[in-house]
Amino acid sequence: MSVVGIDFGNLQSIIAVARNRGIDVVCNEVSNRFTPSLVSFGPKQRYLGETAKTQEISNFKNTVSSLKRIVGRTFADKEIQEIEKQYLTVPLLDVNGQLAVKLNYKGEETTFTTIQIFAMYLTKIKEIATNETKMPVSDCVIAIPAWFTDVQRRAVLDASEIAGLNVLRLINDSTAVALGYGITKTDLPEDKPRNVCFVDVGHSSYTVSIVSFIKGQLTVKSRAFDRHFGGRDFDRMLVDHFAAQFKTKYGIDVKSNGKAMIRLMAGCEKLKKVLSANAEAPLNIESIMEDRDVSSMMKRAEFEELAQELISRVEAPLQKALDDAGLTVDEIDAVEVVGGSTRIPALKDRIQAFFGKDLSSTLNQDEATARGAALQCAILSPAFKVRDFTVQDITNYPIKMTWQPTPEEEETELVVFNKNNAIPSTKILTFYRSEPFDLEAQYAEPESIPTGINPWVGRFSIKKVEPVNGEAACVKVKARINIHGVLTVESAYVVEEVVKEELVDEKEGAAEDPEAPLTRKVKKLVKKGDLPVVSATSSLDRSLINELREKEMEMIASDKLVVDTEMAKNALEEYIYDTRSKVNGGIYKDYINPADKEKFINDLNDAENWLYDEGDETTKSVYAAKLAELQVVGGPVIQRYRESDARPTAARELRETINQLMSQATSSEEKYAHIPEAEKNSIVEKCSKAQTWIENKEERQSMMKKYEVPAITSAEIRKQRDDLIYFSTPILNKPKPKPVVVEAPEQPATPEPKASPETKHDDSKDMDID
């Protein structure tokens, strides 16, 4: 069973796999540790990840980016229309209340929802992980932004299910970083917590988390974020700067050309990275538009001056996180920075100045989130035994429940889960009702969630509620924020108050009143029966998920067929060029019958002409048939050439084996002395026959033309050698017989002589006395 952690990034995603020796980051098909978060569509197939990156400029109108920013959103979202649209190159539209993209796929105008697009990308992530682990991938943990709302989290879960992934947990990215940091620490305190501030500045967002650590546990105390502050904002600032510069310097309007904007964005991103380590950096873009080349230079001081407004936004989330945690700067023991954008020197300086202490970079800034997600997957998976470590996360937005009023109740709403409530968490709500009723969940502070997202979370209908003994039934509703950070109503049931007798503790009763009864009546709530709960949330219907999954499987099969067809075509093309050059004056020229050579070359030329004409667009089976047709003649030629190289080697090995076995069979060494002469002679005889056989075959082969069918093959020679070894080895390795042990006959016991009286000897006479 594979244990996989996925860091779902806006620019690129990272996959980590838990193994017995630790956590490994998985490389994709081009050996990159990061897979671009792109999905592109072509006239024949889809392009996912790295292949989509190659289509980003040439096929920008059909390439979808910013997957993290658009999944779970709607077309009417203010942020989509005002912010995200400038980073997208495909038209957006509304499909049944979901955000969708319109593009050209297989020559037809097609629409896909953002959930479908994300599911396509996850199938690529799943394929990469499967290829690395060499086993099916199902269980995973996906790291998502902590500011994702219920609707966005449900969209990720739906997309994962469409892609065939079983998400064990949606973990907040900053929590994954904290887990990777804490689980490896062996010096965590057991009583007074160690407070660590994690600052994560990624490609599109900025998150600050304050986490307290004790031995075997982390607790997220607070979290703050700026959803629109990241590396892409610095890139956009540079794009605006250079677009204005090029308009004046070269007289071109880069913003009017989609491809030019993508080229300039890529150039600005590269320049930003160079400036992080150098005082100045060049910007050179060939053929940006209208066949014009552009170039410029920028110094780090100029970059920092341009970015002053952006960098000034760093401190607000830091202060808010401290305030929510109830801590001061002095109570923070360490500040850990992660995320690619924290490499910007001015950004690091501002963070360091705020805390007044050195920043720590003990974690891999790019891979920390994926590694933490893989660790969480290992903790949740039965396949691994991991050091006990408890993760206590928190909610970012308070959730309230509302209901219709009743004559007995004036209250119609209640904040069930406050901000910074623990995850997972369960609350029991009590209602007195005589008929079915509905509960509506929504965010209590709509202004705190991403602009444009509906604060409505779900409606939960409690059915089959009836009066009990003519009075309103006491209904208990179990609401839960699960491990994914998603709100659910798990169950509802009726309880009834009953009077029961229970024994009184003898010591307690005797102390109060010796004559008191041994039992007493108490009122207890007893569960009488479960009530059905009908949930209406933003999750897709089960039937729709199954339908979309079938469509995804069809597209996967279609993509695979296109790739296999292209490989068959390339194999045919390679065979034509390679074989023709080697037959026509190359290494195969002596191995083809002169009578067949001209016709075979003509056949190769005809196949080439067909390949670039009517065979340019055909099926895999046609290419395979065409290749098989050419191999009827070409195959034996190639085989004869290979045999000419392999045959001398095989013959030499056979002779060496013959000489070795003959030497052992005729040896007078002690270790062979116990072997019967007849068996030794049989080895000598078999070796002699093999020697004669190879000499005859080689003599016959030397008289033949190179293009004729060989008189002997290397396979036949190797078989002869194997037969010799198989025959001789048991004889030569025969163990020596054990020596015969002759037991001596038992002798009758000789009677011992009777002891004669001993004469006492005076030892003192023999002693030397000084």
pLDDT of residue 766: 44
770 pLDDT band (50/70/90 cuts)?
A: very low
Q: Which of 537, 557, 580 is a domain's end point?
A: 537
pLDDT of residue 740: 66
- What CATH number does residue 465 fall under? 2.60.34.10
Residue 172 host element (H or E): strand 166-172
The per-residue pLDDT for range 243-267, each reduced to its tens digit, is 999 999 999 999 999 999 999 999 9
* 460 has pLDDT over 60: yes
Instruction: Report the alpha-carbon distance of residue 538 to residue 532 in Å, rounded.
Output: 20
Phi, psi of 85 (to 5 degrees): -60, -30
* 751 has pLDDT over 70: no
Least confident of 152-161, 524-533, 550-559, 605-614: 524-533
- What CATH number does residue 675 fall under? 1.20.1270.10
Q: Are residues 158 and 239 in the same domain?
A: no
Instruction: Report the alpha-carbon distance of residue 215 to residue 217 in Å, rounded.
Output: 6
Q: Are residues 588 and 719 in the same domain?
A: yes
Q: Which of 311, 327, 349 is a domain's end point?
A: 311
Q: Are residues 369 and 510 in the same domain?
A: no
pLDDT of residue 372: 95
- Amino acid at the residue 659: N
Q: Are residues 93 and 186 in the same domain?
A: yes
Q: Are residues 564 and 526 in the same domain?
A: no
The answer to whether residue 547 is domain-embedded is yes
Q: Are residues 143 and 259 in the same domain?
A: no
Domain assignment of residue 450, given as a range: 428-537
735 pLDDT band (50/70/90 cuts)?
A: confident
- What CATH number does residue 282 fall under? 3.90.640.10
pLDDT of residue 760: 46
pLDDT of residue 767: 41
Q: Are residues 124 and 21 in the same domain?
A: yes
Nearest to 465 by CA among 535, 529, 537, 401: 529
* 747 has pLDDT over 70: no
Work out how many domains the chain is built from and give that number: 4
133 pLDDT band (50/70/90 cuts)?
A: confident
* 513 has pLDDT over 70: no
Average pLDDT over residues 532-547: 94
- What CATH number does residue 78 fall under? 3.30.420.40
758 pLDDT band (50/70/90 cuts)?
A: very low
Average pLDDT over residues 257-281: 93
The answer to whether residue 178 is domain-embedded is yes
The per-residue pLDDT for range 363-384, each reduced to its tens digit, is 999 999 999 999 999 999 888 8
Average pLDDT over residues 434-449: 93
The answer to whether residue 689 is domain-embedded is yes
* Continuous H helices in 163-298: 173-182, 231-249, 258-275
pLDDT of residue 743: 63
Average pLDDT over residues 574-601: 92
Q: Are residues 606 and 517 in the same domain?
A: no
The answer to whether residue 739 is domain-embedded is no
Q: Are residues 41 and 56 in the same domain?
A: yes
The answer to whether residue 354 is domain-embedded is no
* 769 has pLDDT over 80: no
pLDDT of residue 514: 58
759 pLDDT band (50/70/90 cuts)?
A: very low
Contacts of 310 (CB under 8 A, 6+ apart): 229, 233, 234, 237
Q: Are residues 444 and 307 in the same domain?
A: no
Q: Which pairing describes strands 92-95 and 487-503: parallel, antiparallel, or unpaired?
A: unpaired
Average pLDDT over residues 146-157: 96
The answer to whether residue 722 is domain-embedded is yes
Instruction: Report the alpha-carbon distance of residue 450 to residue 430 in Å, rounded.
Output: 32
* 488 has pLDDT over 80: yes
pLDDT of residue 684: 92
Q: Are residues 369 and 446 in the same domain?
A: no
Q: Are residues 497 and 550 in the same domain?
A: no
The per-residue pLDDT for range 621-678, each reduced to its tens digit, is 999 999 999 999 999 999 999 999 999 999 999 999 999 999 998 988 888 888 889 9
The answer to whether residue 160 is domain-embedded is yes
- Amino acid at the residue 669: E
Q: Which of 517, 537, 557 is a domain's end point?
A: 537
The per-residue pLDDT for range 83-118, each reduced to its tens digit, is 999 999 999 999 988 999 999 999 999 999 999 999
